[in-house]
Homo-oligomer: A and B are copies of this chain.
Amino acid sequence: MAPTGRDFVITSGQQRLTRQESRGRTRARLLEASAAVFSERGFYGASVEEIAERAGFSKGAFYSNFESKDDLFLALLDDRIDADLRALEVLAEDSSVPAFLEFVATRASRRGDYGEQWALLSAEFWLHAVRNPELANKLAARQQAGRAALARVIEGLCAQMGRKAPERAEDLASVILAVDDGLVLQEALNPNAVPGDLRLRALLLFVQAISAGHADAE
């Protein structure tokens, strides 16, 4: 279910790999190339052919490493989610408001070279998955993991501030993620429409709500 890719060196790649031989090598290169092509063209705009070419392979090679374009994207998604989850776990253990704000502020850059495009791309795939029940299940499971991890951070934050956590920290996590996703979309369409610091200011609103004991918004 969870394709890897993170066991392999994804750098320029003159060096000999000690394990997994060339199988993972090609796969890793395709993943790497797909990140670039996806970020340039979007999910629908990116063709398997261009991804394969960019990686220096043919379509045939692509299809012997991935079932489909969807499958490829899920593999890419897993890499990003794993990174996010690890960061959230660290954050949950050592919770503080400044650390939390910094986490959010630096999310894009932490996501690698194409981090700025990632939220957009992710939304595109999200909407694509909505029309495809199988994909929707797979994606929903991954999102639930992210939501739960963020909820744990919120609980840690509450504890650190001496506040009782909201009954359903996951709901607050949902709202925070929603603000982030929504504002990213607005910025993408028109960067002038939204001040760059609005995401952080909105977040502060939630922190204030937590510290005021109104975290459950009721």
Scan residues 17-64 of chain A and give those whose CB is less than 8 A from a CB of chain B: 41-42, 44-45
Known A-B contacts A123-B127, A179-B179, A218-B201; the reply to A174 vs B189 at CB < 8 A is: no
Q: Pick the contact of A181 from B144, B185, B214, B217 — CB < 8 Å?
A: B185
B residues near A41, Cβ cutoff 8 Å: 131
Q: Does residue A82 face the partner (Cβ distance < 8 Å to B)?
A: no
Q: Are B202 and A175 in contact (CB under 8 A)?
A: yes
A119 to chain B, nearest CB (A): 11
Chain B proximity of A143: nearest CB distance (Å)? 7
Query: What 1/0 mask marks residues of chain A from 82 to 115 whose CB sits below 8 Å from any chain B CB?
Result: 0000000000000000000000000000000000
Q: Is A177 close to B, CB under 8 A?
A: yes
